[in-house]
């Protein structure tokens, strides 16, 4: 299955990926980093599944209900058409966000007498063991989970084995973790559907959006919101594990955790959108993490509850996405190694100072000087002096005159697309020749089929062969920040080749094959789109 065929639903507690066949192919309960109950994304034969679709297995056409995270899949069959509506309930109740761990599915005929089939076969996490199914009057309870998993429905339970039946009226399904449904099913599903649609549409109404690229920004905002784990304030990098960055690469990581660096960019995106609750929630998460780190020696990533028990394991008996192994559970050892080799630049050889790392240190000192001017003037000079030292160091040692560009490490020659952040971070004035020549050099040397690679080095895991999607968005931002907005808009128009029909993005894009790779949906990519759209678009003052 291709990532372009998947939609995502969720409620900031858990999420699920829905294939255009009507099958839930990935769902972890009761939260993002739990073991999967539906898992055919990584094991099409033995993984857990929950499918509602045509008896002949035809694919449907997916769309989101306007300005919501409610997914609708429409199927056309020889005997009639029908739709499946999927969502996770989320709305305000008693002045609090109500987000039960419930996956709701509504199926209704559109015309004719369509024949459909329903299969609900969850698995006991990574063991792939089938749970014992205990049948009640209108529900099936699946035993063996840490909490009760129960499917409640108003179709005959005899139809849950996958045999075809004729759909003549609107039917309802609730897959619940923990507290089961004990009230009339149809009115409950209808009310939750209406309230959930209202919640998302009101959330979108409160978004600031640019004059251009509004549809793309709204969908990215909705996707980014689903990556928030509201219970603690963490923001997950993605909702999946082990989808490779490119075929045959072995670059398979578990992204269902909170990267502090990625979250910084996500918080900036929420700021552009005018949403501050998510920022406040993350600050509480960060303070909790920092409070448990003596000397503020922070790791790059944490579990969504703030803990660090992330010892990686490789699941040898799982075939992986499209047979791409290995499948990894947790991310600590190997992914941290990858993270640190990226930071070191000279992968598996002598370490050299990284220009991008130094740039971020400069930005931290520079911004802290501004904050200190307002709140602690006595120490502002210390931060300003540190910023000046780092600025001089980058300007002298990170610049390669022969390349006409800042380069990946001091004294080096290799380019790194992350240095496009020089423009966004205001390291140089808008009209600085070095800024423009760096943008042009990176665009020229790292572009492949109109999409940017992050770098061309062998990082110890091989040389990247596909585009890291956010790099092209960094290019848009850099061009706009350098006053080249027409070029920025031209580059932004390229994104439509990588965005799925539903407006979703993964981490990587193979421009030659025209398909996405990497964990999905990727918060970092949607953050990049939001930043790039605001940068490339005129302001409202310019168009009104």
> Token pair of 406, please?
């800042």
**Residues 438, 326 share a domain:** yes
Residue burial 484-517, b: 16+ Cβ < 10 Å; e: rest? bbebbbebbebbeebbbebbbbbbbbbbeeebbb
Residue 350 is predicted with a pLDDT of 62
Has residue 407 been placed in a domain? no
Residue 508 tokens read as: 């990587």
| Mean pLDDT calculated for residue range 53-70 | 97
At 332-369, the pLDDT tens digits run 544 444 444 444 446 444 678 899 999 999 999 999 99
505 DSSP assignment: -
Q: What is the pLDDT of residue 467?
A: 95
pLDDT at site 310: 86
Determine if residue 359 is left, alpha or beta; phi over 0 gives left, psi from -120 to 50 gives alpha, anything else beta: alpha
Residue 241, C-beta contacts closer than 8 angstroms, at least 6 positions apart: 42, 252, 253, 254, 255, 256, 327, 328, 329, 331, 519
Q: How far apart are the C-alpha atoms of 59 and 147, rounded to whole Å? A: 33
User: pLDDT at residue 521 above 90?
Assistant: yes
Asked whether residue 170 is assigned to any structural domain, the reply reads yes
Residue 132 maps to a domain:
yes
Whole-prediction pTM value?
Answer: 0.94
Residue 492 and residue 425 share a domain? yes
Q: How much of the chain, in percent, has pLDDT values that exceed 70?
A: 96
Q: Which of 176, 204, 232 is the last residue of a domain?
A: 204
- SS3 assignment, position 108: strand
Closest CA to 128 of 15, 253, 38: 38
What would you report as the CA-atom Rg of the chain, rounded to the nearest whole angstrom? Answer: 24
Question: Looking at residue 497, what is its pLDDT?
Answer: 86
CATH number of the domain that residue 67 is part of? 2.70.98
Q: What is the CATH number of the domain that holds 499?
A: 1.50.10.10
Residue 379 is assigned to a structural domain of this protein: yes
**The two structure tokens encoding residue 65:** 């209900």
Query: Looking at the domain assignment, is residue 530 inside a domain?
Result: yes
The answer on 449 and 394 residing in a single domain is no
Q: Which of 365, 383, 402 is the last residue of a domain?
A: 402
Task: Locate 118 and state its tokens.
Answer: 């329903």
19 found inside a domain: yes
Same domain? 122 vs 235: no
Task: Specify burial of residue 380 (Cβ count, 10 A radius: 0-12, 13-18, 19+).
Answer: middle
Q: Mean pLDDT over all residues of the chain?
A: 94
Check residue 340 and give its pLDDT: 42
Which string of b and e fits 251-288 if b means at least 16 CB within 10 Å?
A: bbbbbbbbbbebbebbbebbebbebeebbebbeebbee
Specify the pLDDT at position 460: 67
With beta carbons less than 8 A apart as the criterion, state whether 109 and 166 touch. Answer: no
Nearest to 227 by CA among 365, 397, 32: 32
Query: CA 150 from chain center: how many Å?
Result: 28
Domain identity same for 120 and 250: no
Q: What does the alpha-carbon distance between residue 149 and residue 127 come to, in Å, rounded to a whole number?
A: 16
- Among 486, 15, 508, 365, residue whose Cα is nearest residue 225: 15
Same domain as 513, residue 459: yes
Beta bridge partner(s), residue 143: 132
How far is the C-alpha of 538 from the C-alpha of 210, rounded, in Å? 7
Residues 132-156 have a mean pLDDT of 96
Domain hosting 256: range is: 206-352+412-543
Whether residue 229 is contained in a domain is answered as yes
Task: Pull the structure tokens for residue 338.
Answer: 């990858």
What integer pLDDT is reported at residue 343 of this predicted model?
43
pLDDT in tens, 198-230: 999 999 999 999 999 999 999 999 999 999 999
Shared domain for 17 and 129, answered yes or no, is yes
304 lies in some domain: yes
User: CA-to-CA distance for 198 and 187, rounded, in angstroms?
Assistant: 16
Cβ atoms of residues 458 and 505 within 8 Å: no
Indicate whether 511 and 530 sit together in one domain. Answer: yes
- Assess contact for 199 and 92: CB atoms under 8 A: yes
- Do 70 and 115 fall into the same domain? yes
Note whether 332 and 251 are same-domain residues. yes
Instruction: Name the least confident of 51-65, 189-203, 261-275, 444-458.
Output: 444-458
Q: Choose the final residue of a domain: 204, 229, 251.
A: 204
| Structural domains of the chain, count | 3
Does 457 share its domain with 504? yes
In this prediction, residue 45 carries a pLDDT of 95
The CA distance from 479 to 442, in Å, is: 12
All residues at 6 or more sequence positions from 298 whose CB lies less than 8 Å from its CB, including other chains = 260, 289, 290
> How does residue 156 score in pLDDT terms, banded at 50, 70 and 90?
very high
The pLDDT-based confidence of 112 (bands split at 50, 70, 90) is very high
The DSSP output letter for 450 is T
Q: What is the pLDDT of residues 166-196, one digit of tens each?
A: 999 999 999 999 999 999 999 999 999 999 9
360 in the same domain as 300: no
Measure the CA–CA gap between 176 and 172, rounded to whole angstroms.
Answer: 13
């Amino acid at each position: 299955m291709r990532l372009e065929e998947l939609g995502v639903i969720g409620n900031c507690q858990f999420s699920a990926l829905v294939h255009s066949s009507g099958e839930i192919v990935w769902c972890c309960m009761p939260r993002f980093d739990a073991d999967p109950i539906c898992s055919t994304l990584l094991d099409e034969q033995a993984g857990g599944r929950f499918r509602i679709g045509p008896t002949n297995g035809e694919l449907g056409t997916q769309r989101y209900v306007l300005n919501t995270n409610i997914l609708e899949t429409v199927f056309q069959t020889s005997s009639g058409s029908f739709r499946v509506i999927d969502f996770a309930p989320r709305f305000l109740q008693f002045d609090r966000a109500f987000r039960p761990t419930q996956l709701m599915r509504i199926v209704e005929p559109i015309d004719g007498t369509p024949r459909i089939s329903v299969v609900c076969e969850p698995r006991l996490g990574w063991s792939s063991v089938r749970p014992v199914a205990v049948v009640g009057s209108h529900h099936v309870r699946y035993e063996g989970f840490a909490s009760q998993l129960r499917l409640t429905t108003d179709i005959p339970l005899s139809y849950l084995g996958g045999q075809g039946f004729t759909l003549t009226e609107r039917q309802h399904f609730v897959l619940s973790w923990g507290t089961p449904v004990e009230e009339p099913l149809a009115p409950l599903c209808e009310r939750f559907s209406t309230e959930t649609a209202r919640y998302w549409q009101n959330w979108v109404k409160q978004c600031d959006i640019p004059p251009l690229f509004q549809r793309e920004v709204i969908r990215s905002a909705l996707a980014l919101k689903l990556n928030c784990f509201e219970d603690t304030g963490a923001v997950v990098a993605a909702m999946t594990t082990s989808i490779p960055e490119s075929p045959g690469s072995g670059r398979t990581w578990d992204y269902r955790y909170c990267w502090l660096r990625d979250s910084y960019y996500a918080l900036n995106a929420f700021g552009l959108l005018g949403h501050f609750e998510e920022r406040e929630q993350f600050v509480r998460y960060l303070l909790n993490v920092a409070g448990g780190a003596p000397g503020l020696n922070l790791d790059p990533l944490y579990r969504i509850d703030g803990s660090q028990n992330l010892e990686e394991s490789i699941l040898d008996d799982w075939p992986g996405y499209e047979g791409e192994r290995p499948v990894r559970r947790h991310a600590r050892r190997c992914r941290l190694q990858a993270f640190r080799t990226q930071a070191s630049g000279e992968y598996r050889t002598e370490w050299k100072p990284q220009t991008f790392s130094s740039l971020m240190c400069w930005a931290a000192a520079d911004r802290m000087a501004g904050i200190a001017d307002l709140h602690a003037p006595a120490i502002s000079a210390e931060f300003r002096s540190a910023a000046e030292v780092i600025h001089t160091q980058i300007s002298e040692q990170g610049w390669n005159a022969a390349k006409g560009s800042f380069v990946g490490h001091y004294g080096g020659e290799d380019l790194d697309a992350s240095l496009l952040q020089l423009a966004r971070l205001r390291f140089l004035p808008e009209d600085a020749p070095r800024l423009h020549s760096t943008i042009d050099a990176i665009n020229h040397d790292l572009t492949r089929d109109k999409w940017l690679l992050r770098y061309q080095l062998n990082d110890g895991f091989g040389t990247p062969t596909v585009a890291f999607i956010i790099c092209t968005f960094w290019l848009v931002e850099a061009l706009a920040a350098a006053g080249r907005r027409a070029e920025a808009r031209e580059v932004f128009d390229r994104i439509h080749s990588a965005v799925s029909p539903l407006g979703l993005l993964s981490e990587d894009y193979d421009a030659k094959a025209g398909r996405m790779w990497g964990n999905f949906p990727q918060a970092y990519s949607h953050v990049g789109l939001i930043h790039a759209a605001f940068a490339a678009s005129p302001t409202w003052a310019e168009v009104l």
